[in-house]
Amino acid sequence: MKMTQISDNCYAVLNEKNRVCDANSGLINRAGGVVIDTQSDLAHARQMIEMFSKVWPAMPQRVINTHEDADHVWGNQLFEGAEIIAHRSVPERMKQVADPKEFQKMLHGVGSLLKRVVLKMLHPGIEAAGEQLLEDYNFDGIELALPTTLFDTRYELDLDGTEVHLIYVGPCHQVGDTIIHVPKERVVFAGDVLFRQCTPMGWTGSFEKWFQCLDLISELDPDVIVPGHGPLCGIEGVTEMKAYLQYIRDESKRCFDAGLTSLEAAKRIEFGPYAEWRAPARLYMNVERAYREFRNEPPDASWDSPATFDAIYRVAKAKGIEVEF
Ligand SMILES: [Zn+2]
C-alpha cells in the first residue's frame, strides 16, 4: 500500500497487488478532510488512516462511498462520528452484498482443513478465492457502518472554496456507482467504474450505461483519475477500459449466436491485448453480463457467487493460467 499526492489537495492510497479486494482510497485534504472509500478490512483501513494522517491534522469529518461493495465500505466503522455520503441505494445494497458474516464464514471454512477439503470438492473456485484472500485479509471485527447522507443524482460539497461534485452514474458496475470530480484540481475518483490493468468485475448494470459513464469521465477531462482498482491514470485508462468492454461484448455476441454457454464462451474468447491484466479469467463475469443482456434479462439479476468463482476458476484452468481472482 502506498500514498501518492495527485494534485494540490488530493491524495490516493493505492493497493499494489490489484487482486480482488485490493481497492484504492482517496483523500481530499480540505475543510476537515474527505476520505473516499475505506478499504476491505480493519487492518488495511488503519494503514490507510495512518498514511493519510501524515497530511491531515485530525480524523476526516466526511467519508464518501463510491458504491456498496465490501472492499470500499468495510473500514467505515473506524470513522466514528463522520458524515458518510453515498447514493440513496447504498445502505440497503450494503446489507445485501456486503454482509461481513458471509465473508467471515467463508474464510473460517477455508482456514479449517476438513471444511477446506469438502469445499474444494464442491466449490474449487470459492476455496481458491478464500485461500487467496487469507494471504492478505482478515474480515473479523467488521461491522457495517451505513451511509448517513444520501443523494439521488448529484451532490456538491464546498470545501473552503474547492468544489467537489458527486455524480451518480449507476448502475454500470454496481447499483450505487458514483464518481467524484474535483474540477479545480482536475481529478476524478472513479470507484469501480474504472479498473486499471486488472480485469473488471461488473455486478449490476448494463454495458451501455458503463460506456456512457466512461464517456462522461472523458468529457470531464481530468488530468488524474484514481481507479477503484489498479494504478493511477489519465484519459488513456478510460479509453482502454471502454475498448476492453467493447471487445468482450462483441466476442460474447459471436459465441452467443453460435449457441455456446457463457462458460464455454469465456474459455474460448482470447485474452488478446488484455492477457497481461491482473486476473484475466475474471473475463467470465463480463461475458456472463453480456449474455444476460442478449437474453433481455434485467440488469439487476442476482449472482450465484459460488458458481461465479467456480466459473472463473474453470476458465483459468482451461486456459492453463494461474488461478487468480
Ligand atoms: Zn472494488
The pTM (predicted TM-score) of the whole model is 0.95
Give phi and psi for 165, each to the nearest 5. Answer: -110, 125
Residue 114 has pLDDT above 90, yes or no: no
Measured in angstroms, how far is the CA atom of residue 25 from the centroid of ligand 1?
A: 10
Please name the fold of domain 2-96+141-234: Metallo-beta-lactamase; Chain A (3.60.15)
Measured in angstroms, how far is the CA atom of residue 114 from the centroid of ligand 1?
A: 31
**Tens digit of pLDDT for each residue in 182-226?**
999 999 999 999 999 999 999 999 999 999 999 999 999 999 999
Measured in angstroms, how far is the CA atom of residue 133 from the centroid of ligand 1?
A: 14
Measured in angstroms, how far is the CA atom of residue 228 from the centroid of ligand 1?
A: 6
What's the confidence (pLDDT) of residue 75?
A: 98
Give 162's DSSP letter. E
What's the confidence (pLDDT) of residue 110?
A: 74
**Tens digit of pLDDT for each residue in 174-183?**
999 999 999 9
Residue 121 has pLDDT above 80, yes or no: no
Measured in angstroms, how far is the CA atom of residue 64 from the centroid of ligand 1?
A: 14
Residue 10 burial (CB < 10 Å; 0-12/13-18/19+)?
Answer: buried
Measured in angstroms, how far is the CA atom of residue 72 from the centroid of ligand 1?
A: 6
**Spatial CA neighbour of 241 closest among 207, 205, 279:** 207
Measured in angstroms, how far is the CA atom of residue 108 from the centroid of ligand 1?
A: 22
Measured in angstroms, how far is the CA atom of residue 191 from the centroid of ligand 1?
A: 7
Count H helices and E strands in the chain, helices first.
Answer: 11, 12
What's the confidence (pLDDT) of residue 103?
A: 82
Give the CA dihedral 314, 319, 324, 325, nearest 10 degrees.
-60
Q: Hey, is 184 helix, strand or coil?
A: helix
Measured in angstroms, how far is the CA atom of residue 201 from the centroid of ligand 1?
A: 8
Measured in angstroms, how far is the CA atom of residue 45 from the centroid of ligand 1?
A: 14
What's the confidence (pLDDT) of residue 57?
A: 77
What's the confidence (pLDDT) of residue 119?
A: 76
Give the CA dihedral 279, 283, 289, 290, nearest 10 degrees.
160
**Tens digit of pLDDT for each residue in 123-149?**
889 889 988 998 999 999 999 999 999
Q: Which amino acid is at 196?
A: R
For the record, the C-alpha cell of 92 comes out as 440497503
**Tens digit of pLDDT for each residue in 42-87?**
999 999 999 999 998 788 999 999 999 999 999 999 999 999 999 9
Measured in angstroms, how far is the CA atom of residue 259 from the centroid of ligand 1?
A: 32
Q: Could you tell me which residues come within 8 angstroms of residue 254 by beta carbon, excluding any fewer than 6 positions away? A: none
**Tens digit of pLDDT for each residue in 249-308?**
999 999 999 999 999 999 999 999 999 999 999 999 999 999 999 999 998 888 988 899
Q: How far from 221 is each of 213, 216, 236, CA to CA, in Å? A: 13, 9, 11
The ranges assigned to domains in the chain are: 2-96+141-234, 243-319
Q: How many CA atoms lie within 13 A of 85 on its CB side?
A: 23
